């Protein structure tokens, strides 16, 4: 899985699991493993030990990665979850791949 249909900063909705229906922003995309980290989704508790003098240990809440197949991109124009189509568009004399909303046809670069 080298190419993902979501990028960092995209708004996505979770399709399955304990956080089903939650909308959040993609914090990190990991194409090599096919996973994404979504803000406020799949939050786990990490028990940390103080490493240096003056550091505080305790239980820290952080987001863990989920598979990209469990999320769907939300179109910024129609504000609905949508599948992604790809289209080649000429921009400044160069051909670029553009993601297109399957529902409303909105393009974004």
pLDDT per residue over 10-58, tens digit each? 999 999 999 999 999 999 999 999 999 999 999 999 999 999 998 888 9
Q: SS3 helix, strand, coil % of the chain, rounded to 5?
A: 5, 50, 50
Tokens 């914090």 found at: 27
d(CA 5, CA 56) in angstroms, rounded, equals 39
Q: Which two tokens stand for residue 94?
A: 């160069």
Report the percentage of the chain scoring pLDDT > 70: 97
The CB density around residue 29, as the number of other CB atoms within 10 Å, is: 18
| pTM as predicted | 0.82
Domains and CATH numbers, the chain: 1-74 (2.30.30.30), 76-109 (no CATH)
Asked if 81 contacts 58 with a C-beta cutoff of 8 angstroms, the reply is no
């Amino acid at each position: 899985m080298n190419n993902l249909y979501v990028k960092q900063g995209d708004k996505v909705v979770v399709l399955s699991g304990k956080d089903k229906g939650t909308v959040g922003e993609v914090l990190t995309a990991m194409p090599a493993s096919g996973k994404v980290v979504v803000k406020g989704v799949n939050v786990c508790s990490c028990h940390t030990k103080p490493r240096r003098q003056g550091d505080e240990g305790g239980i820290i809440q952080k987001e863990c990665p989920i598979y990209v197949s469990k999320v769907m991109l939300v179109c910024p124009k129609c504000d609905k979850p949508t599948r992604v189509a790809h289209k080649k568009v000429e921009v400044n004399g160069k051909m670029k791949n553009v993601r297109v909303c399957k529902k409303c046809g909105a393009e974004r670069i």
